[in-house]
Amino acid sequence: MNRTQAEKRIRELHTQIRHHDYLYYVRDAPEISDEAYDTLFRELKGLEEQYPELRTPDSPTQRVAGAPLDKFPTVEHTASMLSLDSGQDRAQLERFDERLRKAVGGDIAYVIDPKLDGASVELVYQDGVLVRASTRGDGQVGEGITENIRTVRTVPLRLRDGGRGAPGLLAVRGEVIMRVGAFEQLNERLLGAGREPFANPRNAAAGSLRQLDPQITAQRPLDLYVYDILAAEGVAVATQWEVLAALAQWGFPVNELARRVSSVDEIVAYHAELHEQRDDLAYEIDGVVIKLDDLAVRDELGTTAHHPRWAYAFKFPPRKELTRVLAIVPSVGRTGAVTPIAMLRPVELGGVTVSRASLHNREEVARKDIREGDRVRVQRAGDVIPQILERVEEPGRTRAAKYRMPGECPSCRTPLVQRGPFTICPNSFECPAQLAGRIQHFARRDALDIEGLGEETAKLLVAQGLVRQLPDLFNLTPEQLEALEGFAEKSARNLVDGIARAAQVELHRFLLGLGIPEVGVAVAKDLARHFRSFDAVRRASKEELEAVPGVGPKMAEQIAAFFADRRNQEGLDALLHGKVKLVEPTGETAAQLAGLKVVFTGELARLARRDAKQLVESLGGRVTSSVSKETAFVVVGENPGSKFTDAERLGVKTLTEDEFVDFVRSKGADV
Ligand code: IVH
């Protein structure tokens, strides 16, 4: 065969092999036998060896051709890769639907498809040839993973000519996933090789895409679904449904579960159906994505800084997972309560690896009858602490003995006492575990906010005898810390500086940090607002405390008892003499919004929620989470929730964010 004949034959082979790859990998419907395919592939390889100059990057032989990289290049996306607005309940979905119906002003159509739990990527094709692929990164720039993406069999290296021809430029967005079966096999392989397995298919997909050596990625069973066009030259499509059809014609894998619907009822039914099928699907999904079909209206609606206004992710409720209790370990908290903690075989729950769960108290352990070695179902909802829901029966398995709480404190050996269902270490002032807990609490973000002073450091400071009571924190020197394990010159200096900075503290944060029984964030603020000075709080009688809105008789008693304790008094005196400097609310500013309740709903564009809340509080107002007749006004941001309708229903005044900012400025706030 001469060169001209070879060139022609190579082109034919490209087309044929590409077609069979498409049928096999994307359509899952091969038309020829493996042997026949291998024969074509071998013929192509042979010709390319004979005429290396005819080997092109889009050749089917060139999937795994890239050399290992030192690092990934940074790639700017063709268009922003935004994330999705999301929620879990029907009411929110209905508000989304209402807003879009208004914008469309007639019959509406949505395209809905599964929300794939994988890694988002952008693929760019020039004149039909894959030239660039990148991870989502921060949405504007990602990592260039072109060579790795090429190894994914379902990714077309050249677009199919599905009768539409190739656009000059086409940028698409999709999700790289690993099917559950493939994920399990990969983990087995990794374990067999003495390597760390992946926690879930999403991590496995993302981790495999981010291998510097494409040879490794090539061995990872990755897959892809494409669902969006980020940019296209000369492509005439008017709807999302047409987008999916065009993508399929170009040879991209498009999710076969995508549907076109026109009502919330249909969406909810689809959501329920997929939720039901979730464990039977070959890949992981975590909800349903709803996209407005009409692309022109989409453009009109536009996007917020984070997500398009025309799409919504209707997520599934948090997942429950099975795992095993490796051990039950008693842990002594700052209040002396001894909590049995189940140490779990690490399990991934809604994006977080969970390895511990509280069993709360003696009675709870007995009620759930959880023992070491048991198989249990765990749940994590939002960012709350994981919970053990129940034990899972394993017939035929011999169980460990019933769990028994220890008789003495695991930290200080003091005999424990029972108070109702709770087990308490009564050695409040000397018990190292309680002290470490108090330090950690004192340093927490909404109290003194001392960076770098977490659980481990607090324990270390106590164990080394450097802190015997809270005031000692302020005497720590960099030299002392540097001698501790895990500290270097810089981290030691940072912690000492952090403690010094935290010494000037607002009254409510200080009150919270003290760990007074029953005093959480809200009560600490109520006390500060009411009494205005630490001395006044400290001297307050039980009756005076009860006069504070939000403080009941039991709480008042506990607070008064805390301040009456001689050891506490000594500690407080030590803290206040030259160590902590309190910033107490002044009468003036506190009066600006004094006693007013403010509610926020929707997204704020100018202010972070936290800052908006602080603004209200700095003026003496209070931010609450639900609207009532007592609410002074509701600040309504973008995509407001039900609080907005509540406000309208109750006739409560609403302010836009701008009006709110003007208002607080008029009250003297510095925004
Ligand atoms: S549409 C932003 N459809 O979910 C508009 N996204 O949590 C285009 N995702 O980063 C997105 N499955 O990468 C769309 N069927 C699907 C999806 C999907 C998964 C990803 C997307 C986004 C993330 C948001």
Tell me, what CATH number does 206's domain have?
A: 3.30.470.30
Co-location of 662 and 575 in the same domain: no
On whether both 121 and 200 belong to a single domain, the answer is: yes
297-321 pLDDT per residue, tens: 999 999 988 899 999 999 998 778 8
Q: What is the pLDDT of residues 41-61, one digit of tens each?
A: 999 999 999 999 999 999 999
CA 311 to ligand 1: nearest atom: 5
Assign 129 to helix, strand or coil: strand
Residue 411, C-beta contacts closer than 8 angstroms, at least 6 positions apart: 332, 425, 431, 432, 433, 434
The pLDDT value recorded for residue 384 is 54
CATH code at 354? 2.40.50.140
Q: Is the pLDDT of residue 588 over 70?
A: no
Q: How many residues does the chain have?
A: 671
Dist. CA 83 → ligand 1 center (Å): 7
Identify the residue whose C-alpha is closest to ligand 1 atom 13.
120
- In this structure, how many other beta carbons lie within 10 angstroms of the beta carbon of residue 42? 10
Domain CATH code at residue 576: 1.10.150.20
pLDDT digits (tens, 9 = 90+) for 374-387: 999 998 654 456 88
Q: Residues 71, 115, 368, 653: which is the catalytic one?
A: 115
Q: Domain of residue 23: give its range.
A: 3-62
Q: Where residue 41 sits, what CATH number does that domain have? A: 1.10.287.610
Dihedral (C-alpha) 35, 38, 39, 44: value to the nearest 10 degrees? 170
Query: Domain check: are 237 and 121 in the same one?
Result: yes
The answer, yes or no, to whether residue 668 has pLDDT greater than 90, is no
pLDDT tens digits for range 134-189: 999 989 999 999 999 999 999 999 999 877 778 999 999 999 999 988 988 888 88
Residue 75 included in any domain: no
Tokens 């020829």 found at: 32
Least confident of 29-33, 36-40, 219-223, 520-524: 520-524
| 3-class secondary structure, 327 | strand
- Contact call for residues 186 and 220 (beta carbons, < 8 A): yes
- Stretch 391-399: mean pLDDT: 92
pLDDT at 382 (0 to 100): 43
- Rounded CA-CA distance 326/42 in Å is 53
Q: What pLDDT digit, counting tens, does each position of 609-631 carry? A: 878 888 888 787 888 888 888 88
Which residues have a Cβ under 8 Å from the Cβ of 183 and sit 6 or more positions away? 198, 200, 201, 204, 221
**Cα–Cα nearest to 372, from 327, 407, 338, 331:** 327
- Span from the CA of 613 to the centroid of ligand 1 (angstroms): 31
Whether 245 has a pLDDT exceeding 50, the answer reads yes
Whole-angstrom distance, CA of residue 457 vs CA of residue 467: 11
Cα 302 off chain centre by: 25
DSSP for 510-564 reads: HHHHTT-TT--HHHHHHHHHHH-SHHHHHH--HHHHHTSTT--HHHHHHHHHHHH
- Alpha helix stretches (DSSP H) within 549-650: 553-564, 566-576, 587-592, 609-618, 642-650
The answer on 651 and 504 residing in a single domain is no
Domain limit, last residue, from 583, 614, 632: 583
Non-local (6+) Cβ contacts of 142 within 8 A are 74, 75, 77, 81, 121, 122, 134, 135, 136
At residue 291's C-alpha, the angle toward residues 289 and 293, to 5°, is 145
Q: How many domains does the chain have?
A: 5
Q: Tell me how many helices (H) and strands (E) the chain has.
A: 25, 24
What is d(CA 610, CA 613) in angstroms, rounded to the nearest whole number? 5
In a domain, 77, yes or no: no
- Residue 588 inside a domain? The answer is no
pLDDT for position 383: 46
Q: Specify the 3-state DSSP secondary structure of 406.
A: coil
Domain shared by 195 and 309, yes or no: yes
Q: What is the pLDDT of residue 587?
A: 57
In b/e form, how buried is each residue of 212-251, taking b as 16+ CB within 10 angstroms? bebeebbebbbbbbbbbbbbbeebebebbbebbebbbebb
Q: Examine the fold and report which residue of 282, 315, 348 is the final residue of a domain before the chain moves on.
A: 315
- 178 shares its domain with 268: yes
Q: In 3-state terms, what secondary structure has residue 156?
A: coil
In this structure, the answer to whether residues 299 and 329 fall within a common structural domain is: no
In a domain, 67, yes or no: no
CA 145 to ligand 1 center in whole angstroms: 19
Say yes or no: 160 and 264 in one domain.
yes
* Pocket of ligand 1 from Cβ distances under 6 Å: 82-84, 113, 115-116, 120, 136, 175, 227-228, 289, 308, 311, 313
**What spacing in Å lies between the alpha carbon of 58 and ligand 1's midpoint?**
28
pLDDT tens profile 463-520: 999 999 999 999 999 999 999 998 999 999 999 999 999 999 999 999 999 999 889 8
Is the pLDDT reported for residue 191 higher than 80?
no
Supply the DSSP string of 179-231, one letter for each residue.
-HHHHHHHHHHHHHTT-PPPSSHHHHHHHHHT-SSHHHHHTS-EEEEEEEEEE
How confident is the model over 63-77, as pLDDT tens digits? Answer: 988 888 989 999 999
Q: Which residue has the tokens 């983990």?
A: 187
CATH number at residue 607: 3.40.50.10190
Highest mean pLDDT, choosing among 194-198, 203-207, 264-268: 264-268
User: What is the reported pLDDT for 381?
Assistant: 53
Note if 115 is an active site residue.
yes
Tell me how far the alpha carbon of residue 379 lies from the centroid of ligand 1, in angstroms: 25
Confidence of residue 352 (pLDDT cuts 50, 70, 90): confident
- For residue 325, is it within any domain? yes
- The one-letter amino acid code at 499 reads I
Angle, helices 3-21 vs 34-50, to 10°: value is 150
Is the per-residue pLDDT at 119 higher than 90? yes
Ligand 1 site-directed mutation target among 85, 140, 173, 175, most atoms within 8 Å of CB: 175
Q: Which of 553, 583, 613 is the last residue of a domain?
A: 583
> Is the domain of 632 the same as that of 616?
yes
User: What does the mean pLDDT of the chain come to?
Assistant: 91
Residue 307 alpha carbon, nearest atom of ligand 1: 2
Q: For residue 151, what is the DSSP state?
A: T
Let me know if residue 72 belongs to a domain: no
Q: Is residue 40 part of a domain?
A: yes
Same domain, 254 and 138: yes
269 and 224 fall within a common domain: yes
Name the residue of 85, 96, 115, 314 whose CB sits within 8 Å of the most ligand 1 atoms, as the mutation to test its pocket. 115
Asked whether residue 333 is assigned to any structural domain, the reply reads: yes
Q: Where are the alpha helices (DSSP H) in 405-520?
A: 432-443, 455-463, 478-482, 489-502, 507-513
Whether residue 201 is found in the same domain as residue 138? yes
Closest ligand 1 atom to Cα of 291: 1
The pLDDT of residue 423: 94
